[in-house]
A and B are shown apart, each in its own frame.
Chain A
């Protein structure tokens, strides 16, 4: 028995590796995706003043901080019993749109595209810099669209990374008319670029092999009256064939899903209560919704469904589904930026003490359904906390996709040309966010650092 490791898995957020066990004949016995970096948010938030959660939890991930910021803020709305005013709600929506545009553009153009647009490139060139050598125009476009997303987040959230303005009852500060006007102006150009580049995403449909990394799972995603939404809808669960299995909102999530662990990864796994694996994120959401609700995204969705059908299991189609969502976010951002209610001065409903001891914020983050669940004492200090992130929910599927591809690319104990990257590209399709997924710290192969040892160290023996 021999073990082969691909480490680190690159062009993904965070620290992960692929471990492949080979038998004596050099065949793949088993392969796993293992996450090797862990932190500990669910534990160290216990004891925190709950109003700090929207400031602390964005630091879970620097690519999707707004999702954590707003999932926490939504939980706080419930805990402090306040409904945000109209402008507060719209500004939060705009902030999330900024997040989708930046995150999806980053993944599609800068992380995933090199696999499909630079098929023959070597290790050093198969990246966004390599893309620039061939097509500077495309990279400039990618920079411009991602910049728009970050500019939105900066305008509404105060900072493009780790926004800070989400508070219980709304948003801390209005945006100015001049900010709205300049963002709207950017939106026009960005939407045109996004529509133009659908061609690239469309061309991937012919380039990808649908059997690569194929797994069969159920799906989970939010919808509102059949339309795509990332906030305020019902989370729906459907079978691998597309039959609705259930739906939930708020604290009911615990009746739908459970988490479990495997010995070889710090990343927890999720499954439905009945035991089935499921997936979340762009592929799942497009399987759940009937339509996107904006014209260009719906046109793209129709082409996507023409190719793949109504319920899609094809793992690599995540990349195309992500682009459909990116188009939607650009269209919706432009639409919302035309709304004069966005600049209203009242953005926040003031709050005082704790009204409810528990708050559950559910939001569709770019990578999938995100749940922040806080239970507090009467003074608003966190007693219990549960964070369920997209990447945990996709963990089973990612892991099985990895094994499927490993079996096809390992010959006589060695990967075929391009085989390692094919394994990684299937992980990449899920756009995993490994920092998000790691709310805890590492063991020491059974030798866990004990508290007395810490005490000795801090009293000077270090």
Chain B
């Protein structure tokens, strides 16, 4: 078995230490080592966006980042988005707009939308569609997702 590295990172605002093999992706670390299963594995190839998380303020496919690369960095995942008693406006907007069916792509879409609104609080519909083009959904109807992000933008920038 390959030798494991010790990694210290910040996940959703808390300092976290873990051991991982150098070949383990951040997605594998989150899901299999830390049991944070909100980021999903859809393709393990960077094509579907289901594993989207925010790394030092930048949207990434966590299947394409190595766990060891997160040393000293900050990771935001879907589990850290809501306050204990209140959903994030993007989460509320997804519920209100029925922007999900099976829901497996939903955490990825929401983290992707979060990264967009963090950098561009008032995106146009066109900008939203371009930004979310890296996230795939097989059942919902993307129109409701786009609408949810537009609603959330209104809410957060108001």
Chains A and B come from one and the same complex? no
